[in-house]
């Protein structure tokens, strides 16, 4: 009886795993297989070339550039989002009128698709009649070509991504701050601790679980960045602001290198895995009980 | 002594700012709100302009016009886009919540080696970046004639999000006492009936927030829809707006019209956000803090 019940319970997960199998495991297998071939993506003509696609990763400048950019998008955004998110959380945690409104506005950009946000931001950072340059003109500064180089484009994309999704971090930290029992701060105050000491010695260690979730979520989100780049720089100038996700789709649909694109896809998969797992483990080991 | 200091500065004063600080707080609040509303301002400002109006984008339009909005509403693309997005988001929601919830229930209650293994497997699946499977997914969809079918894209999107939903539900179901299931079993209820009549009502609040998050994700999804819904009559809102911003070679870009379409497309999202802010904000928190 008990065994039968257990079997039925397990079988409830079959439809869900079937869907995952069809749309994730089969494509993964497919990608692994295709990555061993030279293939343009649509013809019948597939040529087996072994590991050559993976070997050519090493000599492909655009791949390394995109990998570096992906790390900047991942780690840069995570850093900025956490600094700004924590500051914003400390700020809206203060007592002042209208703080709920501020919270509402700071979180709002997350509701907007990255593609659309990129399209609007384009008119802020544009060289010709961009809003930022309009503002600088007020102070007598000439127009600046913000997205002239790959480096500046990458930095601007990182900045906009951090700006857009900062509200998420803010919420996590806000919940974390409100979960800290007031008596800890009171006890520290009683012992003569300063405000700064209370923040670093009491609040921060107790915020580690919140930091863990914020860092992991932002990191994975940043490493997968795609949408904003499409409309803001389209990977330019000269494919210098691509993320790996975007490079994969360009290789497939523009360059018609399906095999090579699959190899880059597998590389991205490995990179995310290698980065997220140890960081998760490290941060979990730092959590404090209270 | 220490006690005196404590009396002088109670916790309320510790958190309450003095007058000078309070003014500072409002200044920061206003600046933050302005920083976060700037793109919305830029978009609205553009949308009321004539195409020929090239005055700085920072300032209000030279001459105001509603033509762009009239054109945006009369073009069938946007309306069609809304319909498609709605269908797509609804399909993703239903598939993900029903199948994900059932599977999570089965895995949470079955216990034993098999269930634990499946749960670990599920967490690994969560890490796979969907674009690394682009080639595999796209060729699968082409082979099975699933391109330009909204239901097929919905299944694919649901499959990508399924592991997250299962993970989310499992953590909540674990906290529902098993006694409830046992009592239902003694009364002769089958497993499915127990799930739908006993467990699901308990999960109502988390289901609402999960549904909102899935719907937002689907509504804003760009990468896969842009490859799988190439037919204009199947475009989602985001695809329609993205296309309005896109400049085809040799064509003249109509930025004001694109901004008007963008504004119309964002209106329902922002209204819903304001109406459902409680669920959205709490939902985001629940999904990560569990």
* Residues B142 and B213 placed together within one structural domain of the fold: yes
Subunit contact B162:A20, Cβ cutoff 8 A:
yes
pLDDT in tens, B197-233: 888 888 888 888 888 889 989 999 998 999 999 888 8
Subunit contact A19:B99, Cβ cutoff 8 A:
yes
Subunit contact A265:B133, Cβ cutoff 8 A:
yes
* Residues B86 and B227 placed together within one structural domain of the fold: yes
Backbone torsions φ then ψ of A241, nearest 5 degrees: -115, 25
Of A26, A168, A249, the CB nearest to B140: A26
pLDDT in tens, A138-160: 888 888 888 888 899 999 999 99
Whole-complex ipTM:
0.85
C-alpha B10/C-alpha B222 separation (Å) is 52
C-alpha B194/C-alpha B202 separation (Å) is 11
**B231 DSSP assignment:** S
CB contact at 8 A, A70 and A243: yes
Subunit contact B131:A105, Cβ cutoff 8 A:
no
* Residues B50 and B91 placed together within one structural domain of the fold: no
Contacts with B273 (C-beta within 8 Å, 6 or more apart), sequence order? A108, A111, B280
Number of domains into which chain B is organized: 2
Q: Is B261 helix (H, G, I), strand (E, B) or coil?
A: helix
* Residues B136 and B230 placed together within one structural domain of the fold: yes
| Residue in the block written with tokens 């009559």 | B233
Q: What is the pLDDT of residue B8?
A: 47
Of A23, A135, A224, the CB nearest to B137: A23
CB contact at 8 A, B136 and A29: yes
Of B14, B127, B222, the CB nearest to A276: B127
Q: Which residue of B has its CA nearest to A3?
A: B110
**Residue that terminates a domain, selected from B16, B36, B69:** B69
Pair of tokens at residue B277: 């802010």
How close A207 comes to chain B (CA, Å)? 12
Q: What is the dihedral of CA A158, A162, A163, A169, to 10 degrees?
A: 180
b/e sequence B144-161, b meaning 16+ C-beta within 10 Å:
eebbebbebbbbbbbbbb
Pair of tokens at residue B215: 């719907």
Enter the pTM of the model: 0.87
| Residue in the block written with tokens 């749309």 | A23
How close A103 comes to chain B (CA, Å)? 9
* Residues B50 and B190 placed together within one structural domain of the fold: no
C-alpha A221/C-alpha A215 separation (Å) is 10
Alpha helices, DSSP H, located in B48-149: 67-74, 76-110, 112-126, 134-143
C-alpha B206/C-alpha B146 separation (Å) is 32
Tens-binned pLDDT, residue by residue, of chain A (290 aa)? 678 888 888 888 899 999 999 999 999 998 888 888 888 877 778 888 888 888 888 888 899 999 999 999 999 999 999 999 999 988 888 888 888 889 889 999 988 999 999 999 998 998 888 888 888 888 888 888 888 888 999 999 999 999 998 988 888 888 888 878 888 888 888 888 888 888 888 888 888 877 877 888 888 888 888 989 988 888 878 888 899 999 999 988 888 888 899 999 999 988 888 887 787 777 667 655 54
CATH of the domain at B270: 1.10.3720.10
Can you name the residues that pair with A38 across neighbouring β-strands? A47
CB contact at 8 A, B168 and B240: no
Q: Considering only CB atoms, which chain A residues are within 8 Å of B241?
A: 115-116, 119
Handedness of CA B3, B4, B8, B9 (dihedral sign): negative
**A142 DSSP assignment:** P
Subunit contact B100:A16, Cβ cutoff 8 A:
yes
Of A13, A103, A111, the CB nearest to B216: A111
Q: Which residue of A has its CA nearest to B170?
A: A13
Closest CA to A175 of A209, A221, A218, A216: A209
Q: Considering only CB atoms, which chain A residues are within 8 Å of B59?
A: 134
**Residue that terminates a domain, selected from B34, B69, B104:** B69
* Residues B150 and B284 placed together within one structural domain of the fold: yes
* Residues B156 and B192 placed together within one structural domain of the fold: yes
Closest CA to B131 of A81, A183, A255, A243: A243
C-alpha B181/C-alpha A240 separation (Å) is 57
Pair of tokens at residue A82: 């956490």
Backbone torsions φ then ψ of B214, nearest 5 degrees: -65, -45
SS3 string, A207-256, reads CHHHHHHHHHHHHHHHHCCCHHHHHHCCCCCCCCCCCHHHHHHHHHHCCC
pLDDT in tens, A169-224: 888 888 888 878 888 888 888 888 888 888 888 888 888 877 877 888 888 888 88
For B120-163, the DSSP string reads HHHHHHHTS-GGGGHHHHHHHHHHTT-TT-HHHHHHHHHHHHHH
C-alpha A29/C-alpha B218 separation (Å) is 25
C-alpha B197/C-alpha B202 separation (Å) is 9
* Residues B86 and B131 placed together within one structural domain of the fold: yes
* Residues B116 and B206 placed together within one structural domain of the fold: yes
* Residues B89 and B160 placed together within one structural domain of the fold: yes
**Residue that terminates a domain, selected from B20, B42, B69:** B69
Contacts with B99 (C-beta within 8 Å, 6 or more apart), sequence order? A15, A16, A19, B158, B162
The C-alpha angle with vertex A212 and arms to A211 and A217, in degrees rounded to 5, equals: 100
Q: Which residues span the domain enclosing B60?
A: 2-69
* Residues B118 and B223 placed together within one structural domain of the fold: yes
Handedness of CA A230, A234, A240, A241 (dihedral sign): negative
* Residues B52 and B102 placed together within one structural domain of the fold: no
Q: Residue B16 — very low, low, confident or very high, per pLDDT cuts 50/70/90?
A: low
Backbone torsions φ then ψ of A47, nearest 5 degrees: -115, 125
Please list the helix, strand and coil fractions of chain B in percent, rounded to the nearest 5, in that order. Answer: 80, 0, 20
Ordered by where they begin, the domains of chain A are: 59-285 (1.10.3720.10)
Q: Is A37 helix (H, G, I), strand (E, B) or coil?
A: strand
């Amino acid at each position: 009886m008990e065994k039968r019940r257990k079997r039925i319970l397990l079988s409830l997960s079959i439809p869900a795993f079937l869907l995952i199998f069809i749309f994730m495991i089969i494509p993964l297998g497919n990608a692994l297989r295709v990555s061993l071939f030279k293939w343009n993506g649509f013809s019948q003509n597939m040529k087996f070339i072994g590991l050559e696609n993976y070997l050519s990763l090493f000599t492909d400048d655009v791949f390394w550039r995109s990998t570096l950019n992906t790390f900047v998008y991942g780690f840069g955004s995570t850093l900025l989002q956490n600094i700004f998110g924590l500051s914003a959380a400390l700020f809206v945690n203060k007592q002042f009128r209208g703080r709920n409104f501020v919270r509402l506005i700071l979180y709002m950009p997350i509701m907007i698709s990255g593609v659309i946000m990129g399209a609007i931001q384009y008119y802020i950072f544009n060289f010709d009649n961009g809003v930022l340059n309009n503002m600088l003109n007020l102070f007598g500064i000439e127009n600046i070509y913000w997205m002239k180089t790959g480096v500046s484009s990458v930095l601007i994309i990182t900045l906009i991504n951090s700006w857009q999704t900062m509200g998420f971090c803010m919420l996590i930290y806000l919940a974390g701050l409100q979960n800290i029992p007031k008596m800890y701060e009171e006890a520290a105050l009683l012992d003569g601790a300063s405000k700064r000491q209370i923040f670093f010695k009491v609040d921060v260690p107790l915020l580690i679980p919140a930091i863990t979730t914020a860092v992991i979520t932002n990191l994975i989100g940043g490493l997968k960045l795609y949408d904003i780049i499409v409309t803001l720089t389209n990977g330019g100038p000269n494919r210098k602001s691509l993320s790996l996700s975007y490079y994969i789709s360009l290789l497939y649909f523009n360059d018609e290198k399906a095999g090579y694109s699959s190899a880059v896809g597998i590389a991205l998969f490995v990179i995310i895995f290698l980065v997220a797992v140890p960081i998760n483990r490290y941060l979990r080991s730092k959590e404090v009980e209270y | 002594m220490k006690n005196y200091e404590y009396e002088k500065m109670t916790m309320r004063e510790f958190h309450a700012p003095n007058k000078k600080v309070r003014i500072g707080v409002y200044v920061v609040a206003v600046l933050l709100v302005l920083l976060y509303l700037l793109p919305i301002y830029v978009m609205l400002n553009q949308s009321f302009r004539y195409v020929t109006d090239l005055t700085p984008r920072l300032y209000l339009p030279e001459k105001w016009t509603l033509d762009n909005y009239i054109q945006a509403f009369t073009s069938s693309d946007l309306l069609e886009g809304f319909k498609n997005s709605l269908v797509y988001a609804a399909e993703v929601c239903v598939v993900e919540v029903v199948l994900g919830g059932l599977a999570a229930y089965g895995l949470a209650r079955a216990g034993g080696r098999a269930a634990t293994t499946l749960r670990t497997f599920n967490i690994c699946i969560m890490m796979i970046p969907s674009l690394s499977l682009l080639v595999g997914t796209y060729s699968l969809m082409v082979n099975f004639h699933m391109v330009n079918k909204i239901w097929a894209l919905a299944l694919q999107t649901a499959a990508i999000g399924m592991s997250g939903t299962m993970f989310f539900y499992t953590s909540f179901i674990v906290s529902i006492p098993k006694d409830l299931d046992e009592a239902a079993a003694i009364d002769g209820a089958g497993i499915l009936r127990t799930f739908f009549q006993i467990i699901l009502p308990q999960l109502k609040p988390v289901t609402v927030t999960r549904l909102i998050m899935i719907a937002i994700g689907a509504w804003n999804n760009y990468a896969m829809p842009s490859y799988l819904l190439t037919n204009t009559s199947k475009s989602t809102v985001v695809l329609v707006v993205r296309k309005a911003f896109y400049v085809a070679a040799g064509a003249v870009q109509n930025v004001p019209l694109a901004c008007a379409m963008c504004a119309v497309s964002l209106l329902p999202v922002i209204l819903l956000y304001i109406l459902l802010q409680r669920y959205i904000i709490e939902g985001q928190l629940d999904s990560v803090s569990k």
